Structure 1
Amino acid sequence: MANQTIFMTGANGYIGSRITEFAIAEGYNVVGLSRSETSDQKLKSLGASFVRGDLFSYDVLREQSAKADIVIHLADALAQNMDQPYSKVVEIDNKVVDAITDGLKGSNKTFLVTSGTLVTGADPNHGETNETSPLWSEPLNDRIGCETYALKQASKGIRVIALRLAPYVYGRGGSGVRLFMSFGAQAGELAYVDDGSVKTTTVHVDDAARAYLLAIKKGRAGEAYNLSYETDVSAKELYEAMGKVLDLPVKSRPAADAKATMGEFLARFISTENRASNAKAKAELGWEPREKKIIDDILNGSYVEVAKSLKKPAA
């Protein structure tokens, strides 16, 4: 790994910044795709270098991929425009993959792409699922389209590996937990759907970042790996923890009401069962998640300060 260069999209983001920091600590050089001076400065503060461009800078993507030893694709086109249909996100992502793999073809270099454990449906008996489980017949989005397209690029002589992130990537006071806490603070209450008994999958951002680096060393070409920690946390437990740290009431909301008030996507997200096993990542990558579990992090960890910042001052 000494003096090997990683080119990364999303290198200054929530997960990417942790990968960047850990990679540099291991001796890699990191070059991040940067859209702004603010991103430039963040990458420099992490010890990385940068190249200016975005997901439409195909020449930059192609050139930097050809120069690098490893490419990690983390940037999500949806985050840049939440109003666009997901079919457009898939189209944009596939073109990014085309540009990157044009730079990598025939090299057998490593190309890591990002997916999610929600691409598979829940087990009918409420057990854990794995990377070969049936795909979800009514998915929240078509993320599997991006994953499938990227993995097919292995035919170009590239070592393509997909990392499937848990629905709840948490830690360091960020991501979805912070977003849901913000919604609750604005509304003056938090609500889960129906009885809140559905179980979901979590992973700490630091553990996820370490898994990306392990996949560089040990991942098998053409394979997907679930990056999951806990698979038995219920929506009710999550929302009650957020309510406790925010000093806000927590209630149950019928599915129809939840869709009307939260929107269909969010209501389905927090009421969808997802129990994705990490057995493959542990066995093949040697990955061992070790950070705080999500409820502990909400009640006693990084989200305590988030809660303090969100609480409205007393009248």
Structure 2
Amino acid sequence: RSPEAADRLRALGAVAVVGDILDPGIGQAMAGCDALVHAAADTDHGHGGAAQMRTNAEGTRTILRAARAAGVRRVVHLSTESVLSDGRPLRHVDETTPYPARPAGSYSRSKIAAEKIALSMNDETFAVVVVRPRFVWGRDDTTALPTLVEAARSGQLAWIDGGGYRTSTTHIDNLCHGVDLALRAGRGGEVYFLSDGEPMAFRTFVSALLETQGMAAPDKVVPRGVVRAVAAVGDLIGLVTRGAKPAPLTLQGFAASAVEVTLDIGKARRELGYAPVVSLAEGLAELAASARQR
């Protein structure tokens, strides 16, 4: 992803390979490997469009084909709970919940396509396992936490209908533990939700994250209906300008942060022996310590 990221990998004893997930030639770097963890994706929650579909769907197809040709036998494909998002609450959903008829946006559509491609390639000699985390967080986060901090600092963060709706979360260590278990014990062709366990109120969790950075949570509250209307306008802007003009919010962003999203991880517990290895308190303490060191 960057020279700095490559240096960190080398320092940990890994071999860093620079490549493009749309280049079939990347399979040369997989020779002699036993397993693949496919985590690369365009996670933009804006207009997305054809470029996002190409990266997430065709990138998945290219990578898995290359892995199979290189002799890789097991794959863990990182998906997302967003494959079920259409803007309505997702309450205690499990792996039997069907894809929505009208996905929330480009990110959901592209990850649905990627997940279908990955599962279609599973066979007796090439086991493909899918894991779906929700709201990944933890030390060295370069996506969710910086965005929340900037929104709070600029005064743009507000609680939708008070923020009392619940959310599942997944600490990065718990996600890595789940991926490890999926590599070892996951059944090919199966999907597993992963999370920190018990969900909590969205406002409570985000406030705790901000506190680790020495920031107080805002008191501003906005009605959900107003936010939903802004998202509709944002989708229209993206459609008319084909993504050339950034929108303040889209239905994809609304679905991720404005409604309840809670997961049932019973299948991962039963079949993988999954249990969170890092608690909420431990993860928050680590974040706070890291912030103090910086």
**Cα drift, residue 183 of structure 1:** 1.7
Please report how far the alpha carbon of residue 208 of structure 1 lies from its aligned counterpart in structure 2 after TM superposition: 0.6
Q: Any conservation in 1 of the 2:269–2:275 contact (CA below 8 Å)?
A: yes
Relative to structure 1, the CA distance from residue 98 to residue 117 in structure 2 (aligned partners, 3 Å threshold; closer, same or farther) is closer
Who is 1:232 aligned against?
199
Match of 1:93 in 2: 56
Q: 1:139 is matched with which residue?
A: 103
| 1:284 partnered with 2:271 | yes
CA offset at residue 84 of structure 1?
A: 6.2
Equivalent of 1:68, from 9, 19, 33? 33
Q: Is the 8 A contact 1:190 1:243 kept in 2?
A: no
1:211 Cα deviation after fit: 1.1
Give the match for residue 241 of structure 2.
none
Letter in 1 for 2:157: L
Unaligned runs of 5+ in 2: 231-246
- The aligned counterpart of 1:184 is 152
Where do residues 14-93 of structure 1 align in structure 2 (5 Å cutoff)?
35-60=1-26, 62-78=27-43, 85-93=48-56
- Supply the distance in 1 between the matched residues of 2:219 and 2:163 (Cα, whole angstroms): 11
Residue 246 of structure 1: aligned partner: 215
Q: Which residue in the other structure is 1:111 paired with?
A: 75
Residue of 277, 287, 294 corresponding to 1:302: 287
Contact kept, 8 Å, 1:128 with 1:275, in 2: the verdict is yes
Structure 1: gaps (5+ residues): 1-34, 310-315
Question: Partners of 2:266 and 2:30 in 1: how far apart?
Answer: 31
Which of the numbers 208, 215, 224 marks the counterpart of 1:255? 224
- The code of the aligned residue for 1:292 comes to S
Q: In 2 relative to 1, CA 57–156 (structure 1 residues): closer, same or farther, beyond 3 Å?
A: farther
Listed one character per residue, the Cα deviations across residues 40-70 of structure 1 (whole Å, up to 9, x for unaligned) are 212101210122212233212x223343111
1:165 to 126, 133, 140: 133
Task: Report the CA distance between 1:197 and its aligned residue.
Answer: 2.5
Partner of 1:208: 175
Any conservation in 1 of the 2:123–2:188 contact (CA below 8 Å)?
no
Deviation string for 1:71-108 (max 9, x for gaps)?
111111346xx766244323223333333333344857
Alpha-carbon contact 2:163-2:203 (below 8 Å) kept: yes
Q: Which protein, 1 or 2, shows the higher relative CO under an 8 Å CA cutoff with sep ≥ 6?
A: 2
Distance change >3 Å, CA 139–CA 49, structure 1 → 2: same
TM-score, normalized by length of structure 2? 0.78
Q: Per-residue deviation at 1:234?
A: 1.7
Aligned-residue offset at 1:285: 0.9
Note if contact 2:171-2:283 (Cα within 8 Å) is conserved in structure 1. Answer: no
1: distance between equivalents of 2:92 and 2:218?
31
Q: For 2:263, what is the secondary structure of its paired residue?
A: coil
Residue from 249, 253, 257 that aligns with 1:266: 253
Give the letter for the 1:214 counterpart.
Answer: L
Aligned to 2:262: 275
What is the alpha-carbon distance in structure 2 between the residues aligned to residue 200 and residue 208 of structure 1? 16
**Does the 8 Å CA contact 1:243/1:249 hold for their aligned counterparts?**
no
Q: 1:202, 1:228 within 8 Å by CA — same for their partners in 2?
A: yes
Q: Kindly, what percent of the aligned residue pairs are identical?
A: 22
More strand by share: 1
SS of the residue corresponding to residue 225 of structure 1 reads strand
Give deviations 1:271-314, integer Å, cap 9, x for gaps: 12211111111111111102131x7744x4414654997xxxxx
> Given that residues 78 and 86 in structure 1 are in contact (C-alpha distance below 8 angstroms), is that contact kept between their aligned partners in structure 2?
no
The 1:257–1:303 alpha-carbon spacing in structure 2 relative to 1, beyond 3 Å, is farther
Q: Distance in 2 between matches of 1:248 and 1:83?
A: 25
- Count of matched residue positions in the alignment of Structure 1 and Structure 2: 267
CA-based RMSD of the aligned residues comes to: 3.1
